[in-house]
Amino acid sequence: MSSELQVLVISAASIGFFHTLFGPDHYLPFIMIGKARSWKLGKVIALTVLCGIGHILSSVLVGMIGIALELQVEKLNWFESFRGNLAAWALIAFGLLYALWGVRRMFKKHRHGHMDKLEDSKNITPWILFIIFALGPCEPLIPILMYPAAIESVGALVLVTSVFGLTTLFTMTAVVLAMSYGLSFVNLKRFERLGHPIAGFVIFLSGLAIQVLGL
125-167 confidence digits (pLDDT tens): 889 999 999 988 888 888 888 888 888 888 899 999 999 999 9
How many other CB atoms sit within 10 Å of the CB of residue 45?
A: 18
Q: What's the count of helices (H) and strands (E) in the chain, helices before strands? A: 9, 0
Taking 3-state DSSP, the helix, strand and coil percentages for the chain, each rounded to the nearest 5, stand at: 85, 0, 15
Domain residue spans of the chain: 3-213
Distance CA 178, CA 46 (A): 15
Q: Model pTM greater than 0.75?
A: yes
Above pLDDT 70, what percent of the chain? 90
User: With 60 as the cut, is the pLDDT of residue 112 above it?
Assistant: no
How confident is the model at residue 172, as a pLDDT?
Answer: 95
Among 33-47, 133-147, 188-202, the range of highest mean pLDDT: 33-47
User: CB neighbours of 35 closer than 8 A, spacing ≥ 6?
Assistant: 180, 183, 188, 195, 199
Range of lowest pLDDT (62-66, 68-72, 109-113, 182-186): 109-113
User: With 60 as the cut, is the pLDDT of residue 16 above it?
Assistant: yes
Above pLDDT 90, what percent of the chain? 40
pLDDT band at 119 (very low <50, low <70, confident <90, very high): low
Name the average pLDDT for the chain.
85
How confident is the model at residue 114, as a pLDDT?
Answer: 46
Distance CA 2, CA 22 (A): 30
206 versus 120: the higher-pLDDT residue is: 206
How confident is the model at residue 190, as a pLDDT?
Answer: 66
pLDDT band at 4 (very low <50, low <70, confident <90, very high): confident
Residues 18-42 have a mean pLDDT of 90
Torsion, Cα of 62, 63, 64, 69 (10° steps): 90
DSSP string, 156-183: HHHHHHHHHHHHHHHHHHHHHHHHHHHH
Residues 74-102 have a mean pLDDT of 89
How confident is the model at residue 175, as a pLDDT?
Answer: 95
H or E element at residue 17: helix 3-21
